[in-house]
C-alpha cells in the first residue's frame, strides 16, 4: 500500500511539475495585476454602477505561444453607454513590476457587443452568464485591464 502511495505521489509530482513550477509566477503576476486594477478603478467606477462579478485569467488569448493576463469586473449600470464610457476615458492601471506594457489602459466592452461572440471573450461571458442575465434592464459591461505577449516560461496554459 505504501509503495503504491509513493508511486502515485511520484507520478503525480512529475506530471504536475512542468505546469506546476511555472504557475506560481503567472498566478502572482495576475494577482498583482488584479490588485492594481481594482485599486485603479475603485474611484473611477460610476457611482450608479454595481459590481456583478469579478474575473481574472492567465492564458494565451490569441494564437502562437505567449502568456496574456486580464483582470476585470462585470458591472451593471442604468447610465447611458456614453456616460459609462466617459467615466473610464483616459484611465489606466499599473501592472506587475516587470510588465513592459504598463501602465495598461482601462478598457470597457458592453456585453451585447460582437466581441463577446468570439473566443476567449465568449468563454468569459458564459462563465458569468447567470450574473449578467440577472441585470436585465441595465447596461452590462466588462471593465478590464489586459496585458499581452509575455514569455510563457513553460506554462502549458500559454501554449
Residue nearer to other proteins on the CB measure, 64 or 98 = 64
| Residue nearer to other proteins on the CB measure, 31 or 116 | 116
Give the Å distances, CA to CA, from 112 to 83, 121, 142.
17, 12, 11
**CB of 47 vs other proteins, minimal distance in Å:** 26
The burial of 64, by beta-carbon neighbours within 10 Å (0-12 exposed, 13-18 middle, 19 or more buried), is given as exposed
Q: Considering the complex, what minimum distance in angstroms separates the CB of residue 110 from other proteins?
A: 10
Q: How far apart are CA 102 and CA 104, in angstroms?
A: 5
Binding-site ranges for other proteins (CB under 8 A): 11, 14-15, 17-19, 21-22, 59-66, 68, 107, 109, 113-115, 118-120, 148-149, 151-154, 156-157, 159
Residue 147 Cβ, how far from other proteins at the closest point, in Å?
Answer: 11
Provide the β-strand partners of residue 49. Answer: 77
Amino acid at each position: 500500500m505504501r509503495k503504491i502511495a509513493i508511486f502515485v505521489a511520484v507520478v503525480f509530482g512529475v506530471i504536475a511539475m512542468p505546469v506546476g513550477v511555472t504557475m506560481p509566477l503567472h498566478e502572482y503576476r495576475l494577482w498583482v495585476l488584479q490588485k492594481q486594477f481594482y485599486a485603479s478603478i475603485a474611484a473611477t467606477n460610476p457611482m450608479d454602477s454595481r459590481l456583478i462579478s469579478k474575473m481574472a485569467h492567465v492564458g494565451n488569448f490569441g494564437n502562437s505561444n505567449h502568456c496574456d493576463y486580464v483582470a476585470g469586473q462585470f458591472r451593471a449600470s442604468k447610465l447611458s453607454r456614453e456616460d459609462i464610457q466617459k467615466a473610464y476615458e483616459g484611465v489606466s492601471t499599473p501592472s506587475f513590476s516587470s510588465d513592459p506594457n504598463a501602465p495598461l489602459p482601462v478598457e470597457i466592452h458592453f456585453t451585447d457587443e460582437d466581441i463577446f461572440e468570439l473566443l476567449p471573450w465568449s468563454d468569459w461571458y458564459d462563465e458569468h452568464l447567470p450574473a449578467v442575465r440577472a441585470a436585465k434592464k441595465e447596461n452590462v459591461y466588462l471593465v478590464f485591464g489586459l496585458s499581452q505577449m509575455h514569455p510563457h516560461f513553460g506554462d502549458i496554459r500559454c501554449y
